[in-house]
Structure 1
């Protein structure tokens, strides 16, 4: 009897081993070639595999290796159109000003003229000045409002940079605090350390003033302890506090200023999902390093902080509802529209993810989530350009749910808004 049990166990283990695939074999056998990244292509048949992989996820995060990757922006634009038109996603959240892209966008008349004027002033110029984002920002988004199939814009970044914030943030917060009868608003410290500082929040590098602003915010938030945390203004105050903490860390040469920002971006995004858009499906536009999960699974990363994707998906319910799609390239050049300096993309290293895809293939998709499902015990580290344009060894199948591969990278060109 014991021999039979041992034999049976051996057979089961052997069969299991035969079923399991290594990641290289999986990529080779399960790669899905993408026909085009042109935003003008409305035949989405080649994107169905991505749609199937996303399934009923409520959140789809779309990354990029650098903030000037023109082909990636074209691919993301086409994906956004597909997700909006065929998968029911109707909110697009940018890595940009939380206040401006919520309060400002909500108050905006959604004519093409108003949208064309608002977006360049309140979404980071690395995207709004890029021609390869123009189809999305200055054609598709306004058209969705004209056709009554609106794609709502929002933002989740704690950094305050929009012109709408510059013109309205101080008055908006002051009005809210006085409606709440916050006693601190009647003090000299409020006027000096808080009210007068907000106008310079974007560029002020005086660490003591940042500290005073943070202390004022703490006192204000303490006075508002009985106010419902679902209220937008409460989330805004917490976001401003995180922005100040990040600036203080940077100015004091701390090592957690990036993590502070990423944690708050996760909190802002969570708030959007829970309170502002509780019944909507949301697309997130951000850098690969912000959206990937489990950054600790990278060997010797060039950056070492806990990021937004890791904070966000620490919530098991959100983890189950989120599909994280990273973008990856093989060769070419890169650089941002806001900087004249361009650089050569690092060639793929030997036996890396990029080399597993034939050089004749310009675009492809690989579903790492499928790999994890079919190979639950596979924990293989391999080289891939998953965070930036340089290769790094990591357990990438546990950091992204899927990868969109682009063979030839090139930088943005300056946008030309069409009338």
Structure 2
């Protein structure tokens, strides 16, 4: 379908740094598996996708890999700090804003531990103020200035996420990162993004959680922010299943979970009456008078049944009759 950029819910800077040094398919594969978050990097089911990505690097139409998250993993965090400081020193901004303070040490600690400032309100406010002062002169500068402004915005969002104990700052920043990827890093390209559905959906606060104590009321998702930034041009596809098992190898405290039978009248129960093992229910042309535009029970978010007008939450729903859990690739095997 002509997608030529594959973006993951992984570190923007991590992947940028790892892939810029690769030259052969094996190096590109190694860069991806070393840098992507565990659900993809160590997954047996995802490995063929990553091999395909690596093999395209020697063709005339390579698939580009990107991250949309602001988190930094070692050793990228150390190099990030070195390069950031070098750029700010060249602009005479580092000395003016942070010289003589503990900003550098705080930043170094924060990159390793997003909760480092979670209990120190005064230190948190000072750090955010310093980050804002560093960002402001960069925003209208060169493309390199704007890149480092974006990276500092990611640092800020990570700190705010930890301090506020809320995913909203992270959701907003991932949306801004995706806008930057589409407009600046990969203009005129078609991007496909692999993220948790709870980040990608829009109108998150409209979803009613039937059995959970907590609600999504008042929460903003990455999809909500993207809906404001783009007038169309985005197709959000959720995923659900009728039966089987779900889970992941990195869930250390439990094995795969067997899916319950979907409730009578739910979207999954209705799709289960079809003969297809895989279906896509497209919401884009559903009229407001259609029954699908009324609140329906479905479970595309963590297999928890919820009620919503799903046509206002996503653009389509991929239905899988039998789900299989995410399993770890065997590091001793040459066969994926």
**TM-score range with shorter-chain normalisation?**
0.7 to 0.9
**Cα distance, 1:213 vs structure 2:** 3.3
**Cα distance, 1:154 vs structure 2:** 0.7
Asked whether the 8 Å contact 2:69–2:177 carries over to 1, the reply is yes
Q: 1:332 to 1:124 in 2, by over 3 A?
A: same
- Which of 207, 223, 238 aligns to 2:153? It is 238
- Give distance in 1, aligned partners of 2:31 and 2:180: 23
Q: 1:292 aligned to 2:201?
A: yes
- Give distance in 2, aligned partners of 1:240 and 1:387: 28
**Cα distance, 1:298 vs structure 2:** 1.4
Structure number with higher helix proportion? 1
| Structure number with larger C-alpha Rg | 1
Q: 1:170 to 1:199 in 2, by over 3 A?
A: farther
- Give distance in 1, aligned partners of 2:203 and 2:138: 35
Aligned to 2:162: 247
Q: Deviations over 1:200-228 (max 9, x none)?
A: 52325332355543332122123435525
Residue ranges of structure 2 left out of the alignment (5+ in a row): none
| TM superposition score normalised by structure 1 | 0.70
Asked whether the 8 Å contact 2:97–2:130 carries over to 1, the reply is no
Aligned to 1:201: 111
Q: 1:401 to 1:149 in 2, by over 3 A?
A: same
- Give distance in 2, aligned partners of 1:323 and 1:276: 20
- Give distance in 2, aligned partners of 1:222 and 1:335: 43
**Cα distance, 1:97 vs structure 2:** 0.5
- Give distance in 1, aligned partners of 2:100 and 2:92: 16
Aligned to 1:155: 67
Aligned to 2:52: 140
**Cα distance, 1:284 vs structure 2:** 0.7
Asked whether the 8 Å contact 2:139–2:146 carries over to 1, the reply is no
SS in 1 for 2:330: coil
SS in 2 for 1:218: helix
- Give distance in 2, aligned partners of 1:200 and 1:112: 34
SS in 2 for 1:93: strand
Q: 1:367 aligned to 2:282?
A: yes
| TM superposition score normalised by structure 2 | 0.87
Q: 1:92 aligned to 2:3?
A: no
- Give distance in 2, aligned partners of 1:163 and 1:352: 44
- Give distance in 2, aligned partners of 1:223 and 1:140: 41
**Cα distance, 1:116 vs structure 2:** 2.6
- Give distance in 2, aligned partners of 1:219 and 1:238: 11
- Give distance in 2, aligned partners of 1:289 and 1:339: 18
- Give distance in 1, aligned partners of 2:200 and 2:327: 25
Q: 1:360 to 1:88 in 2, by over 3 A?
A: closer
Residue ranges of structure 1 left out of the alignment (5+ in a row): 1-86, 251-256
Q: 1:350 to 1:111 in 2, by over 3 A?
A: same
Equivalent runs, 1:19-38 vs 2, <5 Å:
none
Q: 1:280 to 1:226 in 2, by over 3 A?
A: closer
- Which of 113, 116, 131 aligns to 2:29? It is 116
- Give distance in 2, aligned partners of 1:334 and 1:186: 48
SS in 1 for 2:67: strand
Q: Relative contact order, CA 8 A, sep 6+: which one is greater?
A: 1
Q: 1:312 aligned to 2:222?
A: no
- Give distance in 1, aligned partners of 2:37 and 2:98: 35
Aligned to 1:170: 81
Over aligned residues, Cα RMSD in angstroms?
2.2
SS in 1 for 2:174: helix
**Cα distance, 1:359 vs structure 2:** 6.3
**Cα distance, 1:262 vs structure 2:** 0.4
SS in 1 for 2:8: strand
- Give distance in 2, aligned partners of 1:269 and 1:226: 19
- Give distance in 2, aligned partners of 1:144 and 1:351: 44
